[in-house]
Amino acid sequence: MAEIHVLPTRFYGSDQIARLCADLTQAFETGTDTGSRAHHIRADGERLLALSQQLERVVEPLLQGLAHRGLREERANAEVAMRALIDAAAALAAGAKRFPAAEESWVASG
């Protein structure tokens, strides 16, 4: 069996993403097996979790700045919106971390 190594994350430009989407769409339409993406999904989940934690640290001073300027309602609204975004990202990251390896079967839990 071949060894699978997780490669470092690369950041793509929009033209590269468009090309990748087109290639994957063509592979899907032609029934080409592109192999397991479990390791990529898990790695992306780890990165998403790290980014959501970073966002949380950056947002707090911004919220405090709104409060210091007397914009309490705006602060409350922004906090609710940001909390929802951060929680959704964390939930998505947790789901990616639970994604099974190629040999395992995927069973959605309810």
**pLDDT tens figures, 29-46:** 998 888 777 887 888 888
For residue 107, tell me if it sits in a domain.
no
For residue 2, tell me if it sits in a domain.
no
Contact 46, 93 (CB under 8 A): yes
If pLDDT is split at 50, 70 and 90, which confidence band does 20 have?
confident
For residue 87, tell me if it sits in a domain.
yes
If pLDDT is split at 50, 70 and 90, which confidence band does 8 have?
low
For residue 6, tell me if it sits in a domain.
no
Q: Residue 93 burial by CB count (10 A; 0-12/13-18/19+): exposed, middle or buried?
A: buried
For residue 5, tell me if it sits in a domain.
no
H-only helix segments in 38-71: 38-68
Pick 11 or 22 by higher pLDDT: 22
For residue 92, tell me if it sits in a domain.
yes
For residue 30, tell me if it sits in a domain.
no
pLDDT at 109: 47
Q: Which domain holds residue 89?
A: 36-96
- Which one-letter amino acid corresponds to residue 47? R
Please give the model's pTM, rounded to 2 decimal places.
Answer: 0.59
For residue 50, tell me if it sits in a domain.
yes
Number of folded domains in the chain? Answer: 1
**Mean pLDDT calculated for residue range 77-103:** 88
CA angle at 93 for the pair 90 and 95, rounded to the nearest 5° = 110
